[in-house]
Amino acid sequence: MLGVIGGSGLYDIEGIEDRRAVQVQSPFGAPSDAITVGRLGGIDIAFLPRHGAGHRLSPTDINYRANIDALKRLGVTDILSMSACGSFREGLPPGTFVIVDQFIDRTFAREKSFFGKGLVAHVSVADPVCTRLGDLVEEAGDFAEVTLHRGGTYLAMEGPQFSTRAESHLYRSWGCDVIGMTNMPEAKLAREAEICYASVAMVTDFDCWHEQHGAVEVAAIVEVMHRNAQAARSLVKGIAPLLAANRPHVCPHGCDRALEHALITPPEARDPVLVARLDAVAGRLLG
């Protein structure tokens, strides 16, 4: 089942058949909104607008744990994350879609793990996205006629303010390619939930480092965002049939087995309350 998390400007996916809105109850709280489920391109699909209908939630206010837990409860096996971002590179102008492969997490006001006191787990996020899904996104880009760039480091900032000019230059010096506010801890939580995850960062602006473009202006971002959203819908329509035809039983990169050696707390010392909350995320091992 393909789960699509829509970022700024992407609040719906056209062409979903047998669609219905589902309110999923999560022990981690309320997801961003009702989840639209149905069929697209021969595969089951679940669409969740990250910021909620009407863009009600700031990046900090999003309940990332509830979002990932809810998608897992619905049976999602693969997540395609779409998000607006700024660019740190001349070669990644507005309108470019970047298939992200690395992250630097600078967020600080968010719950970043399903695990904690009473049940400790440490998953590897050395390679935080699924290469197999990235390959399918790249292939679907031809169908969607989207300008895709394969590979890039995403700097996740807390927000909701945009960068200072000094920060923008610093992140460029670190080798970052794009900057956004929402892919962390989302990617980490998807790994904990053993869901394959791919991130497509949709460039809307040059942040504020670019001398010829000046400060980030929301009005200009919104204009590009609307154009990107239509291209994103085409990309989702392209990847759905590819995933339906090429989904292996197990992920060759081990995304769906990330917890097998991650649980540190022995069974006799685990908090039963936390174990119960993890029935969807880690039920495969805790059940």
Q: Is 132 annotated as a binding residue?
A: no
The residue segments making up the domain with residue 165 are 2-286
H or E element that contains 116? none
Tell me the pLDDT of the chain averaged across its residues: 95
- Report the domain count for the chain: 1
Of the pLDDT bands very low, low, confident and very high (cuts 50, 70, 90), residue 211 is confident
Instruction: Please report which helix (H) or strand (E) contains residue 110, including its range.
Output: none
CA neighbor of 226 nearest in space, from 11, 27, 5, 2: 11
* Contacting residues for 206 by C-beta, under 8 A, at least 6 apart: 86, 87, 88, 93, 94, 213
- 182 assigned binding-site residue: yes
Rounded to whole angstroms, the Cα distance separating 202 from 30 reads 26
Task: Answer with the residue of higher pLDDT: 237 or 210.
Answer: 237
pLDDT of 217 higher than 70: no
**Confidence (pLDDT) at 42:** 95
Asked if the model's pLDDT at residue 216 lies above 90, the reply is: no
The CATH number of the domain holding residue 187 is 3.40.50.1580
For residues 76 and 101, the answer to whether their CB atoms sit within 8 Å is no
Among candidate residues 78, 105, 205, 256, the one labeled active-site is 205
* Paired tokens of 269: 């010392």
What pTM was estimated for this model as a whole? 0.96
pLDDT confidence bin for 223, thresholds 50/70/90:
confident
Catalytic annotation present for 207: yes
**Backbone angles phi and psi of 49, in degrees to 5:** -75, 115
**pLDDT in the model for residue 220:** 73
* Long-range contact pairs involving 271-278 (C-beta distance under 8 Å, separation at least 24): 271/117, 271/118, 271/119, 273/118, 274/115, 274/116, 274/117, 274/118, 274/119, 275/119, 276/27, 277/27, 277/28, 277/114, 278/114, 278/115, 278/119
Residue pLDDT, tens place only, 269-279: 999 999 999 99
149 assigned to a ligand binding site: no
228-245: average pLDDT: 94
Give the span between the Cα atoms of 105 and 18, in whole angstroms: 38
Per-residue pLDDT, averaged over 82-93, amounts to 96
3-class secondary-structure state, position 73: helix
CA–CA gap between residue 129 and residue 34 (Å, rounded): 25
User: Could you tell me what percent of the chain has a pLDDT over 70?
Assistant: 98
Q: Which of 207, 256, 271, 279 is catalytic?
A: 207
Q: What is the mean pLDDT of residues 206-235?
A: 81
> Would the annotation count 58 as a binding residue?
no
Strands 17-22 and 153-156: unpaired
**Which residues is 91 bridged to in the sheet?**
none
pLDDT of residue 44: 98
Query: Does 199 appear as a known binding residue?
Result: no
